[in-house]
Structure 1
Amino acid sequence: MPTVSLKPALAYPKVRDISLRSLVKLLALVWLVVTLLPLLFVVFTSLKSQAETFDSPVWALPRQIDWSHYAAVLQGGILVYLRNSVWVVGMSIVLILAASSMAAYALARLEFRFNKTLFGLIVACMIVPIHITLVPIYLLTRSLGLYDTPFALIGPYVATSLPVSIFILTEFMRQIPRELEEAAKLDGCGPFAVFWKVFFPLSGPGLATVAIYNGIGLWNEFIFAYVLTSSPSNRTLPLALWDFQGEYASNIPAMLALVTLTSLPLIVAYAFGQERIVKGMMAGSLKG
């Protein structure tokens, strides 16, 4: 009886897998180019002289690197905006991590009435447009005497970031083995000790995901900062473009130098933190 060779049949899936991987790599390369070109355009144009931006092609490299626009922007008070952004975003992230991690632990592991209902309400808050709260937040801020202070931004930033943060951490903490929790209880740990000694350390990837995710969003936040602050000494970095547009409106390289400086901290943070974001999201999505 003749034998049938299975080698050609087995070769087709391998060829198909190689073709699929090649296609994915090609699409990733195309997407890299699409996302990188605007950034390169901004950086190259910011290094041109003002006259060169008008008499040279748009995508031409600078004939001579001109750092004067960066010096002018740094001397124009951008460091004050940077200081405010670092302080406001940093304090907001600390409060978000503290509140959301404790709430997530309670929702993930503590048995109490209306647990699932409360979690559902928190998830439902994620679909509420945050800008519809702008007027009541503005009135509350004025009545509390916090208007035009950095503290005016911390409350709204924390409140609007909590739903998605609690959702991410709750799903993450549900995957932590119960054996660790039971071992801690046998050692005499109460609920808070279990949270602090077991769940909080083991939730490191999830906490990093929440911190980076919210940090990127709050760093770029504009509308609350614009409405709740008015003086340059209390405004955050996204408003630097708004406040400086009158001074540099006709100076395209200076405006793009300002865009580069405001984007640089975010690019650096994301470059170092993107792996933690992916790991945190994947860890929270796996069923243990």
Structure 2
Amino acid sequence: MSTTNTAFERLVKIMDELREQCPWDKKQTIQTLRPLTIEETYELADAITDSDWKGIKEELGDLFLHLLFYSRIGREQGQFTLDEVLNGISDKLIARHPHIYGSTAADPNLVEVKTEEDVKRNWEQLKLKEGKKSVLSGVPVSLPATVKATRLQEKAGKVGFEWDETAQVWEKVQEEMAELQEAVAEGDQNKIEEEFGDLSFSLINYARFLHIDAENALERTNKKFIARFTRMEEEARSRGRSLADMTLAEMDAMWDNIKKSTKQD
């Protein structure tokens, strides 16, 4: 038996023992685990954004535990077993990769692919053949809006609903920006929000064409802002001052100095 199998079976055994013996683990349900799983997923996302490999390894372990927890509860409820979960994803992967595994019941014709985009298009077509009514189905309702917009655009693009060139996307961004400015001039708050949403959607699409993860890009900016702002607070304290007591011009000057120094780091 491989070391991977041994490690996996060890974790399964520990999960079973915790579920049977630990007062906290005994009481958990899929509903009580849900917010914890979301938190663990975001912690993994944070580690990925920071390229923190030690953190990634730790958070992957936490998620593995959650997956086994749900599988254990599913077995207790008579809904499914861990083996069914694992075999289910294996069967799905084989069925959706006929270019690797040959013709399948889902797609009797061997599909030839040459690029990553060919693989993605075939994936979406196979999902439709499995009974999906829309290429947009499968995008979780509760996804953060930035991530959801990216996924919706990616899926629509697989059937050809996509700009041909990056320049066309930028033109759309400029068009939406002008419409937002018009709405601001009119003072219609509902219209302003709508146009701001359209502009954000277009910018996310532009990020895709630049091969940028819009969510990750924004999170990097969030982290950069936090680092610079907290440094500004520390510098103000070192001067015996508080940001609340400083003028905007003083804070701007301090911000610019911090920005220059951090870019040199």
| Same fold at TM > 0.5 | no
The two structures have a TM-score, normalised by structure 2, of 0.26
